[in-house]
Amino acid sequence: MSTLSLPKRGRDDRRVALVFLAPALVGFGVFYVYPALLGTWYSMTDWNLLSEPAFVGADNFVTLLHDSLFWNSLAVTGYYVVLTITVQMVGGLFLAALMHRLTRSLVLRSLLVVPWLVPNVTVGLLWMWLLDADLGFFNHLLTGMGLDNQGFLTAPDLAMPSVSMINAWTSTGYTALLLYAGMCLVPKQVYEAAALDGAGELRTFFRVTLPLMRPILAFVLVVSLIGSFQLFDTVAVTTKGGPVNATRVIYYYIYEQAFTHFKMGYASAMALTLVLILGVLTFVQMRILRASTSDLA
């Protein structure tokens, strides 16, 4: 038993600590550790939810290597992540900068964050309707301008960008708020100094504000990355992975395998593979993060 930093009182708080920790420990044990072990086991079985799982060794992983849809779903997810994050970061920064320069209005900030508060399912339904190829408002605008209507969610080239725009719509206001908070932390003196140097607005933004916001930018980026990888709701509501697999993202694909085709074993193998892939990505990210401590600190 560890005794390295026991207090002078001579005994530690292990009894009371157990009481404090009991709910969390049970929760962690039953819904994190045990499922993690169980999931690893399932990934080596042919379990189909209804009959007993049988051990199949590495079969699922071999299948997975040859499953072009799995790799396609990873690529599709990557495409989505890049698209969404770019729009949401650029849009968020722009909005944050505008708010920072123009107003402290709480009402304004509250309004911007409304889409983020609404359930993704609702958002998906709403946009599915707005983007409808025949009766949607946006196609009404297009045809009104003499252009052709578009199958925003049904054409293979447009479906993923549309899903991505929908989620950017949800999260840009939220991102702006986070970034705005970061901007408010930059001391006034820095701006005064920049103004004294005769730097213009744009120049100040790129040369002063942005570099000082590096830590919060990094944080927002990581949070959005993790969130975007988990895209499910919007796809489940709007496109169901179609057309022709254009929006079959990894979460949706795993879900389908597990609960539409009952291939729980195979789905678990995919989930485990995803964990490993994300693990590597996280490691790389950490390296980058470590390099980005604020110039203010």
Partner 1 sequence: MRRILAWACLALAILITLFPFYWMLRTAITPGRELATDNFALLPEHPTLINFERVLGLTTREETRAAGGSGANLDFFLYLRNSFIYTGLITVAQTLFCAMAGYAFARLRFPFRDALFGLFVAALMVPPIFTLLPSFAVVKQLGWLNTFQGLVAPSMLMTPFAIFFLRQFFLGFPREVEQAATIDGAGKWTLFWRVVLPMTRGPLLTLALTTAVWAWNDYLWPLLIAPGEETRVLTAALGIFLKQSPNNAPDWTGLMAGSALSVIPVLLLLVFFGRRLVDSIQFSGLK
Partner 2 sequence: MRRAAALAVLLLTAACGASAQEDGGKVTLTYGLWDDVQQGVYQKCADAFQKANPGITIKIQQSGWEQYWQNLTTQMVSGEAPDVITMQASYYPQFVKNGQLLDIEPMVKADKVDLTQYRAGLAEPWVKDGKRYGLPKDWDTMAVVYNVEQAKKAGVDLKNLTWNPADGGTFEKAIARLTVDSAGKRGDEPGFDKGKVAVHGYIPELRDGALGQNGWGDLAVSNGFSFIDKNPFGTKYFYDSPKLAETVEWFKRLSDKGYTATYDKASSLGVDSVLDSGKAALGITGSWMINTYLATDKFAFAPLPEGPQGRKSAFNGLADVVYSGTQHKEAAWKWVKFLGSTGCQDIVGDSAVVFPAINSSAERAMKAHEKAGRDVSAFTSIAEAKDGTFLLPVSDHGDEIGQIVQTALEEVWLGQKAATTALTAANTQVNELFGTR
40, 63, 72, 245: which one binds partner 2 (CB under 8 A): 245
d(CA 89, CA 20): 40
End-to-end CA distance of the chain: 38
d(CA 121, CA 255): 16
Instruction: Verify cis geometry, omega within 30 degrees of 0, for the bond prior to 35.
Output: no
Enumerate residues 259-278 that contact partner 1 by CB under 8 A: 259, 264, 267-268, 271-272, 274-275, 278
- As given in the structure block, the two tokens for residue 6 are 């026991």
Interaction of residue 224 with partner 2, rule CB under 8 A: no
Q: Are 235 and 159 in contact (CB under 8 A)?
A: no
From the CB of residue 132, how many other CB atoms can be counted at a distance below 10 Å?
18
- As given in the structure block, the two tokens for residue 231 are 């895209």
56, 160, 212, 220: which one binds partner 1 (CB under 8 A): 220
Enumerate residues 122-161 that contact partner 1 by CB under 8 A: 122, 125-130, 135, 137, 140
4, 8, 134, 290: which one binds partner 2 (CB under 8 A): 134
Interaction of residue 225 with partner 1, rule CB under 8 A: no
d(CA 206, CA 199): 11
Enumerate residues 24-63 that contact partner 1 by CB under 8 A: 24-28, 30-32, 34-36, 38-39, 42
* Secondary structure of residue 61 in the 3-state scheme: helix
**Count of residues engaged in binding partner 2, rule: CB under 8 A:** 29
Interaction of residue 120 with partner 1, rule CB under 8 A: yes
Output the smallest distance, CB 151 to partner 1, in A.
15
Interaction of residue 235 with partner 1, rule CB under 8 A: no
Interaction of residue 50 with partner 2, rule CB under 8 A: yes
Q: Are 265 and 38 in contact (CB under 8 A)?
A: no
Q: Are 182 and 271 in contact (CB under 8 A)?
A: no
Interaction of residue 119 with partner 2, rule CB under 8 A: no
The stretch among 87-95, 133-141, 210-218, 271-279 that binds partner 2 (CB under 8 A) is 133-141
At residue 64, φ and ψ (nearest 5 deg) are: -60, -40
Interaction of residue 63 with partner 2, rule CB under 8 A: no
Residue 244 zone, left/alpha/beta (φ > 0; ψ -120 to 50; rest): left
Please choose which of partner 1, partner 2, none residue 285 contacts, taking the beta carbon within 5 to 8 angstroms, the exact cut-off set by kind. none
The stretch among 100-108, 131-139, 188-196, 287-295 that binds partner 2 (CB under 8 A) is 131-139
Enumerate residues 6+ apart whose C-beta is below 8 A from 11.
none
| Binding region for partner 2 (CB under 8 A) | 26, 29-30, 34, 38, 48-51, 128, 132-135, 148-151, 154-156, 242-245, 259-262
